[in-house]
Structure 1
Amino acid sequence: MPALIILAVWKGLGYNIIIFLAGLQNVNPQYYLAAQIDGASKWERFKHVTVPLISPTTFFISIISIINAFKVFDEVFALFGGQPGPAGSAQTIVYYIFNRFYGDWDFGVASAAAYMLFLVIFIFTLIQLYVGKKKVNY
């Protein structure tokens, strides 16, 4: 499982970095100059200027990362040669749906599991939107 986690993090790291860089480029340098004139240190500028201004980007990345964490399939399939790990130790919900659909030809259970996956992702996204609405100032 640690190898699976490292692979998934490495796979999504480039996308997250590109999105954060785009968010950082949208920060107006005038804010940094104003904070510097007010006597803010580099840490204070980061904490009070950069972090609040990239909070919408951080919010977006957190939602997309949670959704992608539930959709782990490629890593398991590629890392363990089409099996869900030794003794099923890396079984994910998407791999379970795949196994039910293509392995057992149990379309009803696979469909029900896919709907449950949708509901879980939807509930987590709503929770993040609710929590993020209180913290993120657009």
Structure 2
Amino acid sequence: MVNDDIDAASAAEVDGVHLGQDDVKVSEARARLGPDAIIGLSCETVDQVRAADPGVVDYLGIETRFPTASKPDHKPRIGLRCLAELVGSATLQSVAIGGLKQEHAAGLLAAGCEGMAVVSAICGQPDTERAARALRHALDMARAAAR
């Protein structure tokens, strides 16, 4: 997946693109990338969640906005209760986005998210493989506990 850039996603022939509300329109991304591309859309409000067209968008990224170095201009944290409300309003699968770390996994899954999108939790770590494995383990444990 490429974040925010449909030209780069197309040139790199990746699986898809994740777009924010102020990026290119999802309908344009779908037209340019084709029916098999995965298109995700960030949402911050119930209105944005409900407006997401499941005929164009494949999943939603619900912004939790914990502090993160990869987006220093982020908005304030919305909290797990608000996250659950947004996910509950969605007809599409949702992942949490925004400064997430492995310790957030259980709360995000309990709020209804299918998973979590991360950058600095892996890329910002000295041992990226270890960080990725630890994050996967945290998600697996949270899923097992939820059963």
Give TM-score, length-normalised by structure 2. Answer: 0.28
In terms of Rg, which structure is larger?
A: 1
**Greater RCO (CA < 8 Å, at least 6 residues apart):** 1
Give TM-score, length-normalised by structure 1. Answer: 0.29
